[in-house]
Amino acid sequence: MNFVLEQAVEVLGHTPPTLNSLLREIPETWLVENEGPETWSPYDIVGHLIHGEETDWIPRAKIILEHGEARAFEPFDRVAMFEKSKGKSIAELLDMFAAFRKESLHELSAMKLTPALLEKRGKHPELGVVTLKQLLATWVVHDLGHVRQIVRVMAKQYRDAVGPWRAYLSILEE
């Protein structure tokens, strides 16, 4: 599928309500269990998505538009949420994510991106030259990847409980 800005924005707008439907009012045990040492719980992942809104996607888009390849992006702190989420309920985190995403999409819309601007190049600190279009496509895939991670973490809590069915359930082996 070719990247079409309006189609990408639709997915980005659907992520907060999707996580809200999945996680709000679910028993807490589903939120705090993870996949073992150094892995993330659904609660952690929502915090990670919030941090991305604050420091990753729109800030990087602005750097591309303002500085092109002349200024590399700030490295993204993938684990900042362990400090930043402390003391917050999942409901607070989901509300924050929805509000930040709404603001991000507002800012994106205000950029009035044309096909030419989408091809504008920036500099990733590790990956090198990337385009604004690639950044926005990555934002979409990053969202979907973390939804997939949340449901995988939840599913693995029943790895033993499913008994012989484990042979049919590939999500338990990822």
Residues in contact with a copy of itself by CB under 8 A are 1-3, 6-8, 10-11, 14, 17-18, 20-22, 25-27, 29-30, 33, 124, 127-131, 133-135, 137-138, 140-142, 144-145, 147-148, 151-152, 154-155, 157-158, 161-165, 167-172, 174
CB 33, min distance to a copy of itself, A: 6
CB 4, min distance to a copy of itself, A: 8
CB 92, min distance to a copy of itself, A: 19
Return the number of the residue (87 or 160) whose C-beta is nearest a copy of itself. Answer: 160
Return the number of the residue (33 or 87) whose C-beta is nearest a copy of itself. Answer: 33
Using alpha carbons, select from 157, 148, 143 the residue that is nearest to residue 32: 157
Return the number of the residue (86 or 91) whose C-beta is nearest a copy of itself. Answer: 91
Crossing angle (nearest 10°) for helices 132-156 and 42-55: 170
Q: In which residue are the tokens 């800012």 written?
A: 107
Return the number of the residue (110 or 160) whose C-beta is nearest a copy of itself. Answer: 160
CB 157, min distance to a copy of itself, A: 4
Return the number of the residue (82 or 158) whose C-beta is nearest a copy of itself. Answer: 158
CB 34, min distance to a copy of itself, A: 11
Q: What sign does the CA torsion over 99, 3, 142, 111 have?
A: negative
